[in-house]
Structure 1
């Protein structure tokens, strides 16, 4: 099984269960066929399609970093403080919390790694500004999933109404 590396990430294709085969029909379309493990598949077998998108993998990793950074209430509070658009120093952001400066710096580093904030150094002062793009991507992801589940619930309600008749 080929293992590739994309941007330092090992990509290992998922293995299909032994009872699964893919047939290529006359029209060139592939059909997944699942049967008992001991039944042979008829016709020419081709391996299941494996498509990896570096862009999709990168987008998912960025989304994971965003949600991981937003999981902490201190970091969410820092994001809220920066939401006005004004750049603030690490000291200004940390003054709201009863934490040591190294702890505040670690929180800011997590936000920076998630690309939620950008740092600008002015002499000895580090100023942070909110980057809205990762938040917009997270919001789009949430909206897509909310639309899916809302649609699924609507369909379930419709099925229940039809089954009551």
Structure 2
């Protein structure tokens, strides 16, 4: 494993959990939410949500800022760019494979 794969591994590990994906979706819809607001619709304890936010922050997918006793979270989507680039290679693979399959089907279809 090279030094560039560790951040990518963290991003994919963070995105593997549906609760963390839901938290990111909420931040994408309305950035700068408090931890309490983010946790409200999730059926788990606040400490459990905080652990999910720790993972997201560790993967650099969110930032947290404390003002008094209130913690605000913001989306930091730039680490997902590397994940998107990695996935794009496989998108090209599937597109080329499906193009070849379509060509075979068309060649066999006399109509």
TM-score by length of 1: 0.57
Partner residue of 2:7? 62
Which one has the largest radius of gyration?
1
Matched position secondary structure for 2:44: coil
Partner residue of 1:126? 71
Q: Deviations over 1:96-130 (max 9, x none)?
A: 11211110110000100111101111111111100
- The alpha carbon displacement at 1:68 in A equals 1.0
Question: 1 or 2 for the larger relative contact order (CA 8 Å, sep ≥6)?
Answer: 2
Gaps of 5+ in 2: none
2:61 maps to 1:116: yes
- Measure the CA separation in 1 of the matches of 2:99 and 2:75: 37
Gaps of 5+ in 1: 1-10, 12-56
Runs of 4+ in 1 over 6 A off after TM superposition: 159-162
- Measure the CA separation in 2 of the matches of 1:68 and 1:86: 22
- C-alpha RMSD of matched pairs (Å): 2.2
Greater percentage in strand = 1
- The alpha carbon displacement at 1:154 in A equals 3.6
- Measure the CA separation in 1 of the matches of 2:18 and 2:105: 40
- Measure the CA separation in 1 of the matches of 2:26 and 2:102: 42
Partner residue of 1:143? 88
Alpha carbons 1:85, 1:130 under 8 Å: kept:
no
